Each structure stands twice: as C-alpha cells, then as structure tokens.
Amino acid sequence: MATSATTIEKAGKTARDAGIMLSAKSEDQRNRALQAIADALDQSRSEIIAANEKDIEKGKSDNLSDPLLKRLRFDDKKIDGIIKGISELIHLPDPLGKTLKATELDINLNLYQVTTSIGVIGVIFESRPDAFVQISTLCLKSGNAVMLKGGKEALLTNRKLFEIINNASQNAGMPEGWIYNLESRENVNAILDLDDYIDLIIPRGSNAFVRYIMDHTRIPVMGHSDGICHVYIDADADLKKAIDISLDAKTQYVSVCNAMETLLIHRSVAPSILPELKAAFDKAGVRLIGDENVRAIISADTATETDWKTEYLDYVLSVKIVNDLNEAIDHINLFGSGHTDAIITENMDNAGRFCSLVDSADVFVNCSTRFADGYRYGFGAEVGISTSKLHARGPVGLDGLVSYKYILIGDGQIVADYADSQKQFTHRLIDNKYPL
C-alpha cells in the first residue's frame, strides 16, 4: 500500500513539530509513556501474535528461508524480551537536558551546552519485528520523532505494533505524529527527499543498500558499510588466548559485522601457532585461505588481494603472515573497514601502538572482536554501529541519538561593549547546571 509523496511530506512536517514537543516532555512523562507502551504490548499479545502468524504464513508461501522466518517470528518469548527491554530503557539515565559544559563568559553571562534530541530520525531496517519496538522506544526515550520502514515480510506485525505504540504513547500524553510507519519501498525514496524535516537517516541492511541511501539523500546518514574485522597475533602473544579469541571471533556467529574476516600473524610465532590454529578451525568447519608464507606451514587455499577486502560472513577466513607490528597496522588501515580490530599481545607497548594507530571505531586488546555491540558495551540497546567518524562512532545507543544546544543567559549584555574593550570576557569554566 504505497502512500503518496505528499502524504509522506506532510507526515515529515508533522513529525518535525511533534519532535520539538516530545523533546520538551519531562523525563518522567517520557518514562510513563514507555511504561504505557510496555503494558499495551503485554495486553495485546494475542493480536500481535495473530498478525505475525499471517506474516509467517505469507513468508512460507513466498518460500522465505528458515533463518529469515525465524527472525520474523514474534512469539510470547520475544514479546517478553521486548517488554523487559523497555523496562531496562526506563531505568537508563535521561539523555536529554544534561549540562555538558558551563562557562562564565562574563559576570551574569553564563553559557550552557545542554543535550537535546536530534529531531526526526528515519530508520530503515530488516524484517525483525522486535527492531520496530526497540528503535521506536529508543527514539521516544531520547525525545526524537521517528519514521520507520521495516522489512516488507513483517508488514502486518509492524502495522499492529505501530498501532499499539502510537495509541498507548498518545494516551500517555505524547504528541500526535511523533511516530510514523512507512509501508512501501516508494515511501523510502520519498523520505530521502525530506531534508527540511528529517535530521538523520539510519539504514540497516546490506552494504549495497547503505551505499544506495548515502548516494540518494542530502540528509546525514549513520551506518556502517563493511565489517572487515581483523585479529593480529603479535610476537608477544599468549598463544592460548590467541587461539581461543581467534576461534570465538570467527565462529561464535559468522554472519555478523563484528566477526573476524582476516587473521594476521607475526612471522616469529606463525610456525608454532599455525598448525594448532588449523586443527581448531578444521574442527569448527572453517575454510582457510592463506598467503604463500602461510601455505609454506599449513595447507590452505591461495589468497589473492581480493581476499583482504572481502567480508565473507561465512565459515571462511583469510590468513596472512606479517613481518612486524607496523605491517599489521598498515594492512588493517589499508584493507579494513574501520569497524573492529584486535591485537593479541602481552606487550603493552605494542598494544598501545596498535590502539593508537589502527584507525577503527573499536580497537581491542586480548579479547574477541564479537564484543563490539551496544548491549555488550552496556548501552542497553543500540540503533546500529557506525563506521563514520562524525557524530557517533562504533555501537550507537541513546548517547548517539542526542545533539546539544548552547544556551546563553545574560542580563542585557551587548557585543558592542566587548568589541570596544569596555568589557572583557572572563571565560571561566563553572560547575553550574543549566538552571531553566
């Protein structure tokens, strides 16, 4: 059911106004609305599950794959999970109205840098109905209006979830139009033009999809393209840690962006560790692709330059021997995607150099790349992972959904007095919180 571009534009304008009203709601009001949503979801379980059953039936007749159907399924256990998630979100500190910095510019002229919501956020995401609830409640908590486009396979489930969230939040005093549900691909193209109303687009999906969005909008886009993550086993590595971490980083969940795709090994430890690594990866069903130095020690398929740039998202691993720490760093900065890279070493000078020079969002010492995740970082939930270096980098939770404004409170000061040197700025950091 495509909606006209004019309707979408109107919804964008309404969302902009609603976002301003929403951001002015108190922490308590926003938390009470979140609780009302959780209660409504709890009371509407049978309706949600019935809508989801229809999506599942359609998915089956459309021959969706089993993993996709599994992600699409929204049962009592998943509803328990999202209600628990909302409860945790309610208890997270308010991201709005925090005084980041206060400066006395002159006597009775105080500048406050205060966190605010961003405004309107457009989110385009995959066919997991739980994502619909997570994203909309994160936006409500952070005072942002949101326009959501979920996967088409979850059409009826998302429509029902929208209806429940929209009604419950409005009954709890949230402004009309703070949440808008988009139902067709054409609607996605319509929101890409709304740079007057939408402040940020978060696309979740394939690299090609994220690139497409970036190429077709003037609105800032937050997301990640590739996840080409590395583990580097240093000359001073603890070999047991090296094997455990490599195995976890590759095989704990192969199809995710923070899984390892390339293993780099210092030449001094390669002969001793490679046979043991091969045995472990063979057992886990991982196919190894190696450069010629690797293949001089173990059997592996032949790596070409393409392998260093490939995100396999599968039980496949490219392996390369490097001469030293610097070669490992250079390889990662050249072929990596700025997502997550780890060093295994007991030498903290080497660890420090690696952390300083590897230009990635997440840089790890002696632990698995799979830890790069909003939940594991303690953010409660995440809207996505950013490999951009602007605004938010790495896993993005509530803190990535806020902006700030500068509020200057005076008692009649004019610039002419300072331009004439009749008055001087004091520029003194103060401890005050924003008082209004």
Segment 356 to 415, residues that bind a copy of itself, using CB under 8 A: 356-357, 359-368, 370-372, 376-378, 388-391, 393-395, 403-415
Answer whether 308's CB lies under 8 Å from 318's CB: yes
**Site for a copy of itself contains 32 (CB under 8 A):** no
**Site for a copy of itself contains 236 (CB under 8 A):** no
Burial group, residue 3, by CB count within 10 angstroms (0-12, 13-18, 19+): middle
Q: Of residues 62, 173, 302, 425, which one binds a copy of itself by CB under 8 A? A: 425
Of 61-69, 123-131, 167-175, 237-245, the segment contacting a copy of itself by CB under 8 A is 237-245
**Interface of this chain with a copy of itself, residues 115 to 174, rule: CB under 8 A:** 116, 118-119
**Least distance (Å) between residue 119 CB and a copy of itself:** 6
* Total of chain residues touching a copy of itself, rule CB under 8 A: 77
- Rounded to whole angstroms, the Cα distance separating 375 from 98 reads 23
**Site for a copy of itself contains 14 (CB under 8 A):** no
Q: Of residues 244, 276, 314, 324, which one binds a copy of itself by CB under 8 A? A: 244
N residues, the chain? 436
**Interface of this chain with a copy of itself, residues 36 to 95, rule: CB under 8 A:** none
Report which of 325, 396, 393, 324 is spatially closest to residue 356, judged by C-alpha positions. 325
**Site for a copy of itself contains 225 (CB under 8 A):** no
**Least distance (Å) between residue 297 CB and a copy of itself:** 24
User: x/- string (CB under 8 A) for a copy of itself, residues 99-118?
Assistant: ----x-x---x-x----x-x
Nearer to a copy of itself, 58 or 380 (CB): 380
Q: Do strands 200-203 and 340-344 pair parallel, antiparallel, or not at all (unpaired)?
A: unpaired
Q: Do strands 99-106 and 428-429 pair parallel, antiparallel, or not at all (unpaired)?
A: antiparallel
Largest CA distance in the chain: 80
Report which of 185, 43, 179, 36 is spatially closest to residue 124, judged by C-alpha positions. 185
- Chain centre to alpha carbon of residue 161: 22
Nearer to a copy of itself, 158 or 368 (CB): 368
Nearer to a copy of itself, 52 or 369 (CB): 369
Q: What angle do CA 363, 366, 367 make, to 5 degrees?
A: 75
Q: Which residues are 147's β-sheet partners?
A: 122, 180
Q: Mapping DSSP to helix (H, G, I), strand (E, B) and coil, where does residue 29 land? A: helix
For 432, list phi and psi in degrees, rounded to 5.
-55, 145
**Site for a copy of itself contains 313 (CB under 8 A):** no
Q: Mapping DSSP to helix (H, G, I), strand (E, B) and coil, where does residue 132 land? A: helix
Of 129-137, 296-304, 310-318, 349-357, the segment contacting a copy of itself by CB under 8 A is 349-357
Nearer to a copy of itself, 184 or 366 (CB): 366
Of 1-9, 133-141, 217-225, 272-280, the segment contacting a copy of itself by CB under 8 A is 217-225
Q: Of residues 199, 226, 234, 382, which one binds a copy of itself by CB under 8 A? A: 199
- Rounded to whole angstroms, the Cα distance separating 245 from 78 reads 30
For 73, list phi and psi in degrees, rounded to 5.
-65, 135
Answer whether 337's CB lies under 8 Å from 387's CB: yes
**Site for a copy of itself contains 240 (CB under 8 A):** yes
Q: Of residues 54, 218, 267, 283, which one binds a copy of itself by CB under 8 A? A: 218
Across the beta sheet with 301-302, what order do the strands follow?
301-302, 287-290, 316-322, 260-266, 229-233, 340-344
- Rounded to whole angstroms, the Cα distance separating 240 from 22 reads 52
User: x/- string (CB under 8 A) for a copy of itself, residues 314-343?
Assistant: -------------------x----------
Nearer to a copy of itself, 162 or 379 (CB): 379
**Interface of this chain with a copy of itself, residues 248 to 277, rule: CB under 8 A:** 248, 252-253
Of 20-28, 62-70, 127-135, 176-184, the segment contacting a copy of itself by CB under 8 A is 20-28
Q: Of residues 10, 32, 78, 241, which one binds a copy of itself by CB under 8 A? A: 241
Report which of 187, 177, 203, 195 is spatially closest to residue 125, judged by C-alpha positions. 203
**Least distance (Å) between residue 28 CB and a copy of itself:** 15
Q: Which residues are 202's β-sheet partners?
A: 123
